[in-house]
């Protein structure tokens, strides 16, 4: 009999090893994480990637190969594990995809500042509230240092930081040494849950109007009389101008 503690530890080790395997195998295909769904009859593993066609392979050959490797490594019975590929809804709002993109640019010899700023700009154009990229290691000189590139609004503590921030870390093996990459993306709330968490930030205040008449939009300037209605009704009519009297 497996205790509840041992089961949670075993599930965590399984997910960690599975995620590391997919990162190594599908990193160039835009791998962005996986999800494991366990049912009484089978185990479904959903692979999220930006290039799902490359994950599937020609006629589904690659996905069948990955299914066979996972089945043999974790001793699943025949036909009880299935792999699916799911396309990432917004590539610019996925920290793992942007980490892999930055890693690919650095490996191709792009300058550090140019590569980092291109990632930050692409993330902000995709609708994120904030973005932060940290690259550390031997960037130019022999001494290691850390460079931070940030834009927009970013949370660092509290429960909203857990819900609204997507975080990813990657390592780049360069000729001068290993560089560390950290990408943090601050997501905006989305009621549908596709582009961000459904729960809004706790400090956002939305003022609702209980009467549609309160919201009056005008295109021309208007003047409002400050005289009460009763006084305006009792006031005598204004006298005609002198020039008009002489004309009669």
pLDDT, tens digit (0-9, with 9 covering 90-100), for 21-74: 888 888 777 788 888 888 888 888 888 888 888 888 888 888 888 888 888 888
Arithmetic mean of pLDDT over the chain: 83
**pLDDT confidence of 135, banded at 50, 70, 90?**
very high
Angle among Cα 225, 226, 230 to the nearest 5 degrees reads 95
| pLDDT at residue 182 in the model | 93
pLDDT at 247 exceeding the cut of 60: no
Q: Which residue has the higher pLDDT, 248 or 75?
A: 75
Taking only the tens place, the pLDDT of each residue in 98-131 is 888 898 898 888 888 999 999 999 999 988 899 9
- Residue 203, SS3 per DSSP: coil
26, 43 contact by CB (below 8 A): no
Taking only the tens place, the pLDDT of each residue in 4-18 is 899 899 889 988 888
Sheet harboring 130-137: ordered strands across? 145-152, 130-137, 178-186, 165-173
- And the tokens for 124? 């902000």
Using CA atoms, how far residue 161 sits from 122, 152, 164, in Å, is: 21, 15, 5
Q: How many residues does the chain have?
A: 248
In the chain, % of residues over pLDDT 70: 85
> Mean per-residue pLDDT for 200-212?
76
**pLDDT confidence of 183, banded at 50, 70, 90?**
very high
- And the tokens for 202? 């706790």
Global confidence as pTM: 0.69
């Amino acid at each position: 009999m497996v205790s509840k503690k041992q089961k949670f530890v075993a599930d965590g080790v399984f997910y960690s090893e599975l995620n590391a395997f997919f990162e190594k195998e599908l990193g160039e295909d835009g791998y962005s994480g996986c999800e494991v769904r366990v049912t009484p009859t089978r185990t479904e593993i959903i692979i999220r990637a930006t290039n799902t066609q490359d994950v599937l392979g020609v006629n589904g050959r690659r996905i069948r190969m990955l299914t066979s490797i996972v089945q043999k490594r974790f001793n699943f019975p025949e036909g009880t594990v299935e792999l699916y590929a799911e396309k990432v809804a917004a590539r610019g709002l996925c920290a793992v995809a942007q980490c892999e993109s930055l890693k690919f640019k650095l490996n191709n010899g792009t300058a550090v500042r140019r590569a980092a700023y291109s990632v930050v700009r692409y993330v902000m154009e995709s609708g994120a509230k904030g973005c932060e990229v940290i690259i550390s290691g031997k960037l130019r000189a022999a001494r290691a240092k850390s460079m931070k590139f940030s834009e927009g609004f970013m949370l660092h503590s509290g429960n909203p930081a857990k819900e609204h921030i997507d975080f990813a870390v990657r390592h780049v093996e360069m000729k001068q040494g290993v560089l560390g990459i950290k990408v943090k993306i601050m997501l905006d709330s989305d009621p549908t849950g596709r582009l961000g968490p459904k729960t809004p930030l706790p400090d956002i205040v939305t003022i609702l109007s209980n009467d549609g008449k309160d919201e009056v939009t005008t295109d021309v300037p208007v003047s409002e009389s400050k005289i009460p209605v009763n006084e305006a009704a009792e006031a005598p009519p204004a006298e005609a101008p002198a020039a008009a009297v002489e004309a009669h």
